[in-house]
Amino acid sequence: MARAATTADAFNAVAEPRRRQILDVLAGGERPVNDLVRVLGLAQPQVSKHLRVLREVGAVDVRDEGRQRLYRLNGEALKPIHDWVKNYERTWSERFEALDVVLEELKQEGRGNDSGK
Amino acid sequence: MARAATTADAFNAVAEPRRRQILDVLAGGERPVNDLVRVLGLAQPQVSKHLRVLREVGAVDVRDEGRQRLYRLNGEALKPIHDWVKNYERTWSERFEALDVVLEELKQEGRGNDSGK
DNA sequence: GACATATATGCCTATATAGGAATATGATCG
DNA sequence: CGATCATATTCCTATATAGGCATATATGTC
């Protein structure tokens, strides 16, 4: 079996740096395709293709405005990624490390400390 | 050009659900490969391959213990993902939405409201 | 209608999987 | 050493890109 399609879910769609870059630009507001082409320095067809992938996973919405197509960010599609990775923050955040120390101490106390102290 | 290698970065490595699952299990503590095989219900070679990818992006560390190899989570490798996706939380979080409303109001006030009201 | 602008789609190629199956490597034990 | 347990690697195949390039599909303009 090959790798899952880029359109399979947000995780796969966003694995491509250019697509993250597109979302980053769209975070600043609605944009027509050509704006993205200029900002990213990519060929127009490639941008349209990336946008298609992002559309298929729901990360962007489109709206027709004259002969332009305005793309808009739909960040909610990224929530599953945030929800997943959020749980790992504790592994590098000092704040959580400090919390872990406290929890560890509480655990020590709770455990029938028949050894006095 | 083909898609970037799964070992290119954490984003690509973690796009595969099984690999996320492996990390989720390792979040509970160090584990030998066979434990993962049992928990994931995958064939052993596939698990070893997934672990290799995770190792190459630094998401796990290994330690030899007798004839077992104990894998351990290294969540810090996921920080780039967290850092990126964190900025999109505002797009779905009610807390941030509320904040946005406030900011919008402030902006309206600042902008010489010559239209009265 | 001819034409220009804005965007999408189709075709082609090189490349990289993910899983299945078989096998290799390594460590431990009797 | 031979057997066994634990893990890694190799080979095979179907599939899916990402980008380059040409072209199709609107839509607005004169």
A68 and A90 assigned to the same domain: no
Q: Kindly state whether residue B4 falls inside one of the protein's structural domains.
A: no
Q: How far is the CA of A58 from the C1' of D23 (A)?
A: 28
How much is the pLDDT for B2? Answer: 87
A34 and A63 assigned to the same domain: yes
B14 and B71 assigned to the same domain: yes
The single-letter code of the amino acid at B87 is N
Q: Kindly state whether residue A4 falls inside one of the protein's structural domains.
A: no
How much is the pLDDT for A117? Answer: 41
B14 and B65 assigned to the same domain: yes
The domain of B21 spans: 10-75
Q: pLDDT category, B115, cuts 50, 70, 90?
A: very low
Q: Kindly state whether residue B51 falls inside one of the protein's structural domains.
A: yes
Residue A86: closest CA among chain B residues belongs to which residue? B82
Q: What is chain A's mean pLDDT, rounded? A: 90
A71 and A92 assigned to the same domain: no
pLDDT digits (tens, 9 = 90+) for B80-106: 999 999 999 999 887 766 666 676 677
Choose between B112 and B41: higher pLDDT: B41
How much is the pLDDT for A52? Answer: 98
B62 and B102 assigned to the same domain: no
Across the range A51-80, mean pLDDT stands at 97
Q: Kindly state whether residue A117 falls inside one of the protein's structural domains.
A: no
Q: Is the CB of A72 under 7 A from strand C?
A: no
CATH number at residue B44: 1.10.10.10
Q: Kindly state whether residue A96 falls inside one of the protein's structural domains.
A: yes
Choose between B10 and A110: higher pLDDT: B10
Choose between A112 and A60: higher pLDDT: A60
Which residue in A6, A82, A91 is closest to B76 by CB distance? A91
- B82 and A87: CB-CB below 8 Å? no
B84 and B101 assigned to the same domain: yes
What is the C-alpha separation between B71 and B32, in angstroms, rounded?
6
CB distance from B113 to chain A under 8 Å?
no
What is the C-alpha separation between A72 and A55, in angstroms, rounded?
10
User: pLDDT over 70 for what percent of chain B?
Assistant: 84
Q: pLDDT category, A115, cuts 50, 70, 90?
A: very low
Q: pLDDT category, A99, cuts 50, 70, 90?
A: low
Across the range B37-47, mean pLDDT stands at 96
B92 and B64 assigned to the same domain: no
How much is the pLDDT for A94? Answer: 75
B52 and B27 assigned to the same domain: yes
Across the range B18-35, mean pLDDT stands at 97
Q: Kindly state whether residue A55 falls inside one of the protein's structural domains.
A: yes
Least confident of A52-61, B34-43, B63-72, B98-107: B98-107
What is the C-alpha separation between B7 and B20, in angstroms, rounded?
14
Q: Kindly state whether residue A5 falls inside one of the protein's structural domains.
A: no
Which residue in A6, A16, A78 is closest to B85 by CB distance? A78
Interface test with B, best of A72, A82, A83 (most B CBs within 10 A): A82
A50 and A88 assigned to the same domain: no
A87 and A33 assigned to the same domain: no
How much is the pLDDT for B99? Answer: 65
B85 and B48 assigned to the same domain: no
A52-57 contacts, C-beta under 8 A, 24 or more apart = A53/A6, A53/A7, A53/A13, A53/A16, A53/A19, A54/A13, A54/A19, A54/A22, A54/A23, A56/A7, A56/A13, A57/A7, A57/A8, A57/A9, A57/A10, A57/A12, A57/A13
Q: Kindly state whether residue B71 falls inside one of the protein's structural domains.
A: yes
